[in-house]
Structure formats: structure tokens, C-alpha cells
A = this chain, B = another copy of it.
Amino acid sequence: MVGGGQLARMTHQAAVSLGIRLRVLSAGPADSAAQVCPDLRVGDHRSLADLREFAEGCDVLTFDHEHVPGEHVAALQHAGVTVRPGAQALRHTQDKLVMRERLVGLGLPCPRYRAVRTLADVRSFAARHGWPVVLKAISGGYDGRGVWVCGSPAQAADVLAHGIPLFAEEHVRFRRELAALVARSPHGQGAAFPVVQTVQRDGVCHEVLAPAPELDPNRAARVAGLALRIAAELGVTGLLAVELFETGDGLLVNELAMRPHNSGHWTIEGARTSQFEQHLRAVTDLPLGSPRLAAPKIALANVFGGDGRDPRARLAHVMAADPAAKIHLYGKAPRPGRKIGHVTVLGDASDEMAALRARAVRAASYLRSGPDEDQ
């Protein structure tokens, strides 16, 4: 697995059970996965030489993030390395304009968009679809950001000034955000986890509710089917996460990711097969595991870095307050705003989702900042 973040860390936990030896390419031994996985290779995921050396002796290469240059992925495949997902599929997560064009070509509902180069382009887009306008980096981003909601031409001008390729998207007034997570194996087998609701703030996922509360079963089936279809059409091997907007009218596809995804961390305890095990099964071409729920209702809250204190110093309080909360810490320095863990709370059919959410948020909030602050 290229990348030593928390996704590789949790993939290692799943690999241990299956007797699969995970090798990790990471920037250094302090990385989240590097702390827990013995087969660590230090290297740069942007260096083809490092990638080639890393791939030597691996049965299959997969990814913890989208940042390996597409041409490197293609070069590895050309050299005979088994890479899953492959360059053809990954292109759609590395070039968002390609992704949009492909999804629209498949007849799938997407927000309206157009490539923009100048402020005049943005103004003309806004004239049709109104302000605010969402500007998105076509690939990568600027200073860690790739999405800007611009309320005015002046704000759009600031974003254009970064000089990176952008496209404009209508600002969708959604009711809520949903995420569909599916796996597809090289054999073509597919499996869909139950559709979840995500709660995002400033483009960052704070909570996940599984299954998405009060989602119409027909709509849930349609969303899962849509994600399976995208996986098949794009030739994805491994996991595919599809983030969607649910609006008054229906659904719009927002983003794609081809790896374990934050919206799927609840599966560790909440599904018969965790997304990490499922990704391993898919990329090693083993039969996929059952994606069914292991509990009727599940709430997850992400833990962010807060006051810089090690969240482990706060475990005692959280564990005493809620002995059934499942705590996951990523071994990352608790810098403010950084995702450093998550908490999952599992409920029975009779539990109120609001109560499960409150428990998860309370635990995550305490791990972030102790008793002094509400989240």
C-alpha cells in the first residue's frame, strides 16, 4: 500500500487477520501506518524509482491516497506490476473534470459545471446558475484545499489568482449528504455497503450515520446500484466511495474516491466485513465479504486535533463515561483541525440515532479538547 496514513494503518489491522503481509511505502517511521506495520519502506510516492523499488516482490500494489502521479501508475502497470485500482480508473479521482464528464456521459445526475479560466467565465456561469459558485481544483489543490465556495466575483478572483486549473460547479442546496461505498474485484464481483449519511462542516466530514436515517429504501437501492455501476463502468478494482447530495428533487454525485474512505470507518465494528478487509479481498481478487450491518444503527464522530494534548491522556475519561464506545486513534500529532481518530457507537433498533450521535460526538469532543469546550 502506497501511503502511510490512517487508512494504511487500519488496512494493516485487517491484513493481520487474513494472514496477508502488508508492505507500506511511507515518508518516514512517524507516519500513522509506519508506527504499527513492520514491513515499512521509506520513500516518495511521487518518485517512479521509489515506487518501482517498493513494488518489487509485492503481489499487488494499492493506495492509501490519490497522490501518486497517474503516469507513474501507468508506467508501473506497463512494467508488469499488478496495480489495483489501475491507472484508467484512478484517472477519475485525479482529474475531476474527467470524472464529471464521464459521469455525465453515463447519464448520471451531477451538479452543473464548466471549466473556467477567467473571471468572465465564472461570471457567465454564475449568471446562469447564481452565486455562490463553487470553484474546484481539477487536480490536487492549492495549500491543501481543492474546493472554494465563492459568494462574489471578488472571492472568485482570489481563487483564480492561485493560477491552478479550475472548474466551476453550481452550489447545490442539499438536504443532506450521503455516501455509498462499494467494492469490485478483478473478477467483476461487486458488493455494496449500506448507504450512509455524512455530516460535513467546511468540506470536512465530522459524523457518519449508518445506515442513512429514514432513507427511502428504493432510493437507497438506487444509490447502491449507481455506485456499483460507476465501479463497473470505470473499471475500479478495490473500494469505490461515492459522495452524493440528496436534494429536494433527488440525488447528485459529488465526489469519488477509490480507496478506504472516512465515510466507511463505521464498518470496522458496524458491518460483517470492514471496508479495510473488503479492500484487501478486492485487490487480492478474493471473494468479497458480506457487507451487511452488524448492528441496526451506528453513529461515528471524527476526532480532530484540538489543544495539542495527546488524546491518549484522555482515554480514561471517555472509557469510563462510555464503556461501549469504540475508540480509534491514528497515532498522529494532535495539530488543531487534523483528523487524528474516530469514535463509533453501535445501537440497537430501539436506540434513537440522536442519542447514538450524541454519545459519539461527546467522546470525540472530549478526546479533542477535554472538558473545557463543546464541539
Contact = CB atoms under 8 A, between A and B. Distances in A.
Contact of A327 (B18, B35, B191, B288): B18
A36 interface: yes
A21 interface: yes
Nearest to A21: B35
Interface stretch (A60-68, A99-107, A251-259, A317-325): A317-325
Contact of A36 (B16, B289, B328): B16
Contact of A19 (B40, B286, B287, B331): B331
A309 interface: no
B18 A287 contact: no
Interface string A14-53: 0011111100000000000011111010000000000000
Contacts of A36: 12, 16, 37-38
A281 B316 CA distance: 9
Contacts of A123: none
A312 B284 CA distance: 11
Interface residues of A, number: 45
Given A286-B316, A319-B286, A329 B38 contact: no
A17 B329 contact: yes
B289 A324 contact: yes
Contacts of A91: none
Contacts of A191: 323
A19 to B, nearest CB: 3
30 contacts: A9-B16, A12-B16, A13-B16, A17-B327, A17-B328, A18-B312, A18-B327, A19-B311, A19-B312, A19-B329, A19-B330, A19-B331, A34-B38, A269-B294, A272-B324, A272-B346, A281-B319, A286-B319, A287-B316, A287-B319, A287-B320, A287-B323, A288-B319, A288-B323, A289-B323, A289-B324, A290-B323, A290-B324, A292-B324, A294-B346
Given A17-B326, A191-B323, A272-B324, 19 more contacts: A16-B36, A17-B327, A17-B329, A19-B311, A19-B330, A19-B341, A20-B312, A34-B38, A281-B319, A286-B315, A286-B316, A287-B319, A287-B323, A289-B319, A289-B323, A292-B324, A294-B294, A294-B295, A294-B346
Interface of A: 9-10, 12-13, 16-21, 34-38, 40, 191, 269, 272-273, 281, 286-290, 292, 294-295, 311-312, 315-316, 319-320, 323-324, 326-331, 341, 346
